[in-house]
């Protein structure tokens, strides 16, 4: 309860400052873009963003408290909750917002032919931005309440195991984790695997809830990309309320465009990663259903399974101690393997 009050209090104070500054900011006049219909649309978005963030925070508080009360597994249940409802909503809302933003941004940047009237394109771009802001506010708030840090890399071992996991897709370490079960003759793959292992590069033997490659090569890159895109996007929007220096706006615009291109590349990698290894398909399904089979967890995620069993022995605190509530600190924006 104390953690919830702290999060809500800090968020409320920040939103109060943002909302007040947005309401009393003037917009228009010297130092601002020309006051066209596009200007008025951007101004509306700038004034609406604090309220969209507030809704996201409220949703995050609701889902965070619900997640802390919800048992994640039971000995007699055939399934385990890997993601709670709030995480799934934030993930797909963030993903939808990014897809809308990428498509509309590609049109704005002339990656494809522009229509004569860009106002509708910008409107879709702003809708995507609103969805992303809601999802991020919800995600950060929920994980602040639940203490979710499971997707944050903790040590250099996460890096080496993540690299080992990516190499495992090639079949070097055997067909179990290879893309589409690829089988390489043992006489070929064994010497290569031994060399890699001698350098400390090997897939993990006891997986936890989240895969090392998921932490290093998905969540972390998405965290950086989303942070830059959101910050630069806010500068581009709030320039309609505040007379930012034109040089600063131009720099932020260049960064925004660059990281939009990186996001497109990252999305392709993300989609490839979640479909390559059949072993990880149940984890993809869990981003829709919130659940994964208990048998799959026992077979492929023994460290997580052991933690779930320990939590099941303490029913009064299971909902707080179960690591399945730990859904990371920023983004969903995305994962290398969900």
Quote the CA–CA distance of 295 and 282 in Å, as a whole number.
11
Say if CB 291 and CB 82 are below 8 A apart. yes
- The helix/strand/coil state of 25 is coil
- Which residues in 51-132 belong to E strands, given as ranges? 79-81
315 pLDDT higher than 70? no
pLDDT in tens, 45-80: 999 999 999 999 999 999 999 999 989 999 999 999
At residue 338 the predicted structure's pLDDT band, cuts being 50, 70 and 90, is: very low
At residue 34 the predicted structure's pLDDT band, cuts being 50, 70 and 90, is: low
At residue 294 the predicted structure's pLDDT band, cuts being 50, 70 and 90, is: very high
- pTM value? 0.81
Read off φ and ψ for residue 279, nearest 5 degrees: -60, -30
- Would you state the pLDDT for residue 8? 57
What average pLDDT does the chain have? 84
Q: Which residues contact 47 (CB under 8 A, 6 or more apart)?
A: 22, 23, 241
- Would you state the pLDDT for residue 16? 56
At residue 333 the predicted structure's pLDDT band, cuts being 50, 70 and 90, is: very low
Instruction: Give domain limits for the chain.
Output: 153-314
Read off φ and ψ for residue 292, nearest 5 degrees: -140, 150
Residue 226: closest CA among 328, 107, 81, 108: 328
Say if CB 326 and CB 146 are below 8 A apart. yes
- Would you state the pLDDT for residue 95? 94
Burial 300-324 (b: 16+ CB within 10 A, else e): bbeebbebbeebbeeeeebbeebbb
pLDDT in tens, 94-114: 999 999 999 999 998 888 888
Least confident interval from 31-35, 150-154, 245-249: 31-35
* Alpha helices (H) along 239-291: 246-276, 281-289
């Amino acid at each position: 309860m104390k953690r919830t009050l702290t999060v809500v209090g800090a968020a409320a104070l920040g939103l109060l400052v943002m909302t007040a500054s947005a309401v009393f900011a003037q917009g228009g006049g010297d130092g601002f873009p020309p006051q066209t219909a596009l200007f008025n649309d951007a101004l509306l978005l700038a004034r609406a963003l604090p309220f969209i963030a507030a809704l996201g925070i409220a949703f995050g508080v609701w889902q965070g408290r619900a997640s802390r009360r919800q048992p994640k597994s039971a000995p007699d249940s055939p399934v385990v909750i890997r993601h709670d409802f709030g995480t799934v909503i934030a993930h797909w809302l963030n993903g939808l917002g990014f897809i809308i933003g990428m498509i509309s941004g590609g049109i704005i940047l002339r990656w494809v032919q522009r229509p004569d009237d860009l106002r509708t394109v910008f409107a879709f771009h702003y809708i995507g931005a609103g969805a992303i802001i809601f999802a991020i506010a919800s995600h950060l708030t929920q994980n602040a309440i639940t203490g979710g840090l499971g997707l944050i890399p903790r040590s250099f071992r996460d890096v080496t195991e993540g690299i080992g996991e990516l190499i495992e897709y090639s079949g070097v370490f055997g067909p179990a984790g290879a893309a589409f079960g690829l089988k390489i003759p043992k006489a070929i793959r064994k010497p290569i695997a031994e060399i890699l292992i001698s350098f400390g590069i090997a897939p993990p033997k006891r997986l936890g809830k989240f895969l090392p490659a998921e932490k290093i090569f998905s969540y972390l890159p998405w965290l950086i990309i989303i942070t830059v895109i959101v910050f630069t996007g806010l500068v581009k929007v709030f320039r309609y309320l505040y007379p930012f220096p034109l040089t600063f706006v131009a720099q932020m615009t260049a960064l925004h465009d660059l990281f939009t291109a990186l996001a497109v590349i990252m999305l392709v990698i993300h989609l490839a990663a979640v479909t390559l290894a059949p072993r990880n398909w149940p984890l993809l399904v869990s981003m829709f259903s919130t659940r994964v089979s208990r048998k799959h967890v026992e077979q492929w995620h023994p460290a997580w399974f052991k933690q779930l069993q320990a939590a099941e022995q303490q029913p009064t605190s299971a909902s707080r101690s179960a690591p399945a509530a730990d859904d990371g600190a920023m983004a969903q924006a995305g994962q290398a393997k969900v």
